[in-house]
Amino acid sequence: MINACFARLRHERGAVLVHVTVAIIGLLAFSALVVDYGVMWSARRQAQNSADAAALGGAISMAYKAPGSYDTARAVAQKVGAENRVFGVSPNIDLGSGDSADVTQDISFPTCPPGSPAEGEDACVRVNVYRNATKDALPTFFARLFGMLSQGVRASATAEIIAGNSSDCIKPWAVSDRWDDTTPNPGPPVTAGGIQNPAWDPDWNTDSTWDPAAGDLYVPPSSTNPGTGFRIYDANGQLCCDYGLVLPLKQGTANAFWYQEIDFHEGNSSAIYRAAIAGCHTGTIGETVSVKPGTSHGPTDQGVDDLIAQDPQAVWYNPNPDPSKPWLDTYNPNGVSIPSTVADMCPTGCVYSPTTGINSSPRIGAITVMSPAELLTCSNCDITVRNILGFFIDRPASGNGNNQVVWGRLVKIPGKYKTTGTTVEDTGSFLKTIILVR
């Protein structure tokens, strides 16, 4: 009997079950590690994509659509973030309100972080994206067997609005920058299609020329000073000053010698110059460019017509006209229908096209700025690009010969930031670019 008991104890039947049980526990733990941890890391990457997209969307809204409109930027950031799902679910991004710099909010507007191009400035948009215990927690699968019923991820992104110093769409024109003139009379207004705007430079009498001997002062824009030149932002970052100004480009007369034609070193033929108006070239503030000899009135007309044909319904739209500044009023000679929602995105005016939307028309290009001294003394020579202006061609060229005028408005445009170029202080910069800094 005793031997029989010892025999049963030594029997191996059922031993595999013990090993399988231990192995299953290990396999379930490994499955939880692989599957649930993999879900978390996949969701973490998707949350970061959502935060990046939301921050960029909010910053773009502030830079190109409605500067200083925090509520608009919040709405855009929330919408863009929600369109980028996190593990199949749109992240729940709280809208918030106002210009709060509290980074614990889902959408905030803090000062830009150390080491960024706009360090310490109020030019950043931060977005936090969550899927955790309080906001649509991520599910678990195998980890539930060990009591872990949910898991969470969090991602943050900060986008920064900075002044650009380069453009990929330079037109073949260089216009004289503004200067402070000793002449008190700004000259007669310029009429353009029923719109009257003051002389292109309120500090410059159109019957006079740059004369430093008489006390005329020109200060070029720099990284710390907007100078005496064109600008479209005030010290608070709000659109002002020359934004939307009708700027007539005219060449060949003593009292309106405002621009020169640029040679992009591709040849001086009329066909090349005409194509350059309808096309795009790269330019950077601080570089030198060559002035093209002579004038090209016919190709100018043709090039402008070619450019307008790319988006014939683009118009300048201002939902809030100012009786004291009629030159900023809507210019819509063809009666293009403008949706009511555009007014919310363009409180100070913008370019609208039924085809390309807001401030996106191919008729928005860039023109370079030279010093007034170079304008009056340079012919077939090199000049320095002092600034780059956004320029919307809002109507065909008019006039003949030396009386030909190219009509356009000064606007802001997307730009690029190059470390090799010269930067311009924010209030004097027409080029804006958006970067992710964190």
Q: DSSP characters for 10-51? A: T--TTHHHHHHHHHHHHHHHHHIIIIIHHHHHHHHHHHHHHH
Helix or strand holding residue 174 (H, E): strand 166-176
Q: How many helices (H) and strands (E) does the chain have?
A: 8, 21
The Cα–Cα gap between 131 and 150 comes to 10
**The pLDDT of residue 255:** 42
Residue whose C-alpha is closest to residue 285's, from 120, 103, 433: 433
Distance, in Å, from the CA atom of 416 to the CA atom of 429, rounded to the nearest integer, reads 12
Among positive and negative, which fits the CA dihedral 231, 307, 293, 167? positive
Residue-level pLDDT at 353:
96
The whole-number pLDDT of residue 149 equals 81
Helix boundaries (H) for 317-414: 342-345, 372-377
Q: Say what the pLDDT of residue 69 is.
A: 74
Mean pLDDT by groups of 10 residues along the chain of 438 residues: 57 65 67 73 93 93 72 91 92 89 93 85 91 85 76 93 92 89 58 50 51 82 90 81 86 60 81 93 92 84 96 95 84 92 84 93 95 79 92 90 86 88 88 89
Whole-number pLDDT of residue 352 = 94
pLDDT of residue 144: 75
User: What pLDDT, on a 0 to 100 scale, did the predictor assign at position 256?
Assistant: 44
d(CA 262, CA 381): 10
pTM of the model: 0.80
Q: What is the pLDDT of residue 314?
A: 97
pLDDT at residue 54 in the model:
95
Q: How far apart are CA 360 and CA 310, in angstroms?
A: 12
d(CA 430, CA 407): 18
The predicted pLDDT at position 68 comes to 58
Which helix (H) or strand (E) is 60 found in, with range? Answer: helix 37-60
pLDDT at 248: 83
